[in-house]
């Protein structure tokens, strides 16, 4: 197949390599000319050391040329740029092209998931999503990874499954795009809390509690919004949450850890040097919780640390000293 990867960040480049290895014709586009220049000349990416990209992968700074004749467009820009990039793509979109969103986030101003933002800008688009526990640093090195492909039409999900599946990259299918996107976005907020806990020097017990109670918060909101609860106990839910809360590759965990050690939000984001999606999703998560009247104490405390300068230790204390309740609803 002919595939365009829109965005030359670490995740886009890892997927470009995977798709090229699968035998597809791949073009990568970026709005950052210096990145395209380095990729063309050196076949390397500054944030993926030791990886040399195959000559078969082409690099474009012209979006029209990148999308021309592509059967699949993999949209892999940071979530805060999803809408603006989709707007640019609209002029060159051809009927039937499948747009696969691989970013993770919720728009703060509209509370919309990313595929809905894409549809706002490209009304007739065929949109889908690919998500799961999948750090670019491991995928690009061909370490075993599993994801889920979601689309309203199961046949579209199966087509994406076939395009991406390899001996080291297993793909499942789903028609619950809402659940996939909510799980993949909200887990970044919980991962900030896990990082804060690590930064404070708390142990594995605290981390396990945050992961466990975090998926409860995510699934309660998701099901209230109409998603399938099984999705949150799958790859894009608990799977992605575990890896993002625990991995050394996780930007959200690292940013949280720095804040737990005393950095401000701005200082932590600057030190991470890449987009920390959880910071941009946190306010949207709280707004959704308020809209649907869902209790999300971890999300609330993360927001307080990020935007109200609450002391991280006080935020943890607030979680620990909440009113006594039963773990199971109805008990």
SS3 sequence, 206-252? HHHHHHHHHHHHHHHHHHHCCCCHHHHCCHHHHHHHHHHHHCCCCHH
Please report, in angstroms and rounded to a whole number, the separation of the first and last CA atoms in the chain. Answer: 53
Are 274 and 252 a contacting pair, CB within 8 Å?
no
Instruction: Give just the sign of the alpha carbon dihedral 291, 294, 295, 299.
Output: negative
Which of 272, 305, 301 has its CA nearest to residue 289?
301
Q: Rounded distance, CA 22 to CA 168, Å?
A: 11
Q: Rounded distance, CA 129 to CA 157, Å?
A: 9
Q: Rounded distance, CA 158 to CA 168, Å?
A: 18
Which of 98, 197, 201 has its CA nearest to residue 150?
98
Q: Rounded distance, CA 52 to CA 199, Å?
A: 34
Q: Which residues does the annotation mark as catalytic?
A: 187
């Amino acid at each position: 197949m002919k595939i365009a990867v829109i965005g030359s960040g670490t995740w886009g480049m890892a997927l470009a390599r995977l798709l090229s290895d699968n035998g597809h014709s791949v073009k990568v586009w970026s709005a950052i000319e210096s990145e395209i220049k380095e990729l063309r000349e050196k076949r390397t990416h500054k944030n993926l050391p030791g990886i040399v990209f195959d000559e078969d992968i082409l690099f474009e700074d012209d979006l029209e040329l990148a999308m021309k004749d592509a059967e699949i467009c993999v949209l892999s820009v940071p979530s805060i740029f999803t809408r603006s990039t989709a707007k640019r793509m609209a002029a060159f979109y051809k009927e039937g092209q499948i747009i696969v969103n691989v970013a993770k986030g919720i728009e703060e101003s509209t509370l919309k998931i990313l595929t809905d933002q894409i549809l706002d800008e490209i009304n007739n688009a065929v949109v889908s999503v690919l998500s799961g526990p999948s750090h670019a640093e491991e995928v690009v090195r061909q370490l075993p990874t599993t994801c889920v492909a979601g689309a309203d039409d199961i046949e579209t999900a199966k087509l994406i499954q076939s395009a991406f599946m390899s001996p080291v990259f297993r793909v499942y299918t789903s028609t619950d795009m809402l659940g996939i996107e909510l799980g993949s976005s909200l887990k970044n907020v919980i991962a900030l809390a896990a990082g804060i806990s690590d930064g404070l020097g708390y142990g594995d017990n605290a981390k396990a509690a945050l992961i466990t109670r975090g998926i409860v918060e995510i699934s309660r909101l998701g099901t209230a919004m109409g998603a399938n609860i099984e999705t949150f106990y799958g790859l894009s839910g608990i799977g992605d949450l575990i890896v993002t809360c625990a991995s050394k590759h996780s930007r959200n965990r690292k940013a949280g850890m720095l804040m737990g050690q005393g950095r401000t939000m701005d200082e932590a984001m600057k030190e991470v040097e890449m987009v920390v999606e959880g910071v941009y999703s946190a306010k949207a998560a709280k707004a959704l919780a308020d809209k649907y009247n869902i209790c999300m104490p971890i999300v609330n405390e993360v927001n307080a640390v990020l935007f109200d300068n609450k002391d991280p230790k006080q935020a943890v204390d607030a979680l620990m000293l909440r009113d006594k309740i039963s773990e199971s609803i109805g008990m």
